[in-house]
Structure 1
């Protein structure tokens, strides 16, 4: 348990420093991050939690885009996120999810937009990054590990590599 608390403390320290730099409007080249996680080990998502909790202090909303599930208010409260500033929307398709995320990032109404989306092209990633910069918003694309593996296999990356 101590290592989990220490990891969360370290993540909070690093993310708080990042937030401080945002307040000074010093940006890194990326506003949208992809987080690849193992659905069997949900701890990875908890590393994002301190950052989202810190962003919850802003007057803007947090948006969660999910392809199949509704946002559970009990879960939101248990994570320490502001229920009154958290919105959950379901996207019907990957295309609508990407479009919804881009519009939300660009709007300036959200401190963060979190979406479950599959791996995407660099062109789409750049569009989302540009939208996040315009809206002064953070975006997080959550991808379960099997989706990434399927994408890599589909793109035939493994057959082009030589493993020794």
Structure 2
């Protein structure tokens, strides 16, 4: 078995194959993921944190896009992310956020682009995935459950369960 070290413009990975056979695993580092979370229980976002911390070791930036939230430097430091390689931009609209995300993903300047967006169409997700592949970047779309729906889920769950 041999290891082949291959370098892409912004990332490196290893393909392992046996002599004379095709590679068993091909690692694709570019993709866009949608993460739906409950704003009253932000634990889901902490599942993303180790991945973002690992990406912060790359020489590239991390970009956070939001039309509603302002990036807090104290919060970034408390998460263990490097303040000096983190950029937060406020977008005017959903369309503007999508456009900014697509350009940032494609640029190759970022290891990850994180954006708060509502549900997006399959066509937009496909465009973002293509941009992420071109820029060798990860994209994360954070979508909060509507407060009413979140409230109903919690009430339903706790009303039918008895905790002792």
Question: Do the two structures share a fold, i.e. TM-score over 0.5?
Answer: yes
Question: C-alpha offsets along residues 123-145 of structure 1, whole Å, 9 cap, x if unaligned?
Answer: 00000000000000000000001
3-state SS of 1:114 partner = strand
Q: Distance in 2 between matches of 1:136 and 1:71?
A: 24
Question: C-alpha offsets along residues 14-44 of structure 1, whole Å, 9 cap, x if unaligned?
Answer: xxxxxxx97237217x600000000010100
Cα distance change, pair 22–119 in 1 and its aligned pair in 2 (3 A): farther
Say how many residue pairs are matched.
Answer: 127
Name the structure with the higher strand share. 2
Q: Distance in 2 between matches of 1:66 and 1:22?
A: 30
Question: Could you tell me which residue of structure 2 aligns to residue 23 of structure 1?
Answer: 13
Consecutive unaligned residues in structure 1, runs of 5 or more: 1-20, 150-164
Name the structure with the higher helix share. 1
3-state SS of 1:70 partner = coil
Q: Distance in 1 between matches of 2:97 and 2:103?
A: 10
Q: What is the CA RMSD across the aligned residues, in angstroms?
A: 1.8
1:35 aligns with 2:25: no
Question: Could you tell me which residue of structure 2 aligns to residue 83 of structure 1?
Answer: 83
Q: Distance in 2 between matches of 1:97 and 1:37?
A: 19
Q: Distance in 2 between matches of 1:55 and 1:38?
A: 24
Q: Distance in 2 between matches of 1:115 and 1:98?
A: 8
- After TM superposition, what 4+ stretches of structure 1 lie above 4 angstroms from structure 2? none
The TM-score, its normalising length taken from structure 1, stands at 0.73
- Say which one has the larger Rg: 2
3-state SS of 1:118 partner = coil
Question: Could you tell me which residue of structure 1 aligns to residue 161 of structure 2?
Answer: none
Q: How much has 1:67 moved relative to structure 2? A: 0.9
Question: C-alpha offsets along residues 63-102 of structure 1, whole Å, 9 cap, x if unaligned?
Answer: 0001122111111000000100000000100000000000
Question: Could you tell me which residue of structure 2 aligns to residue 48 of structure 1?
Answer: 48
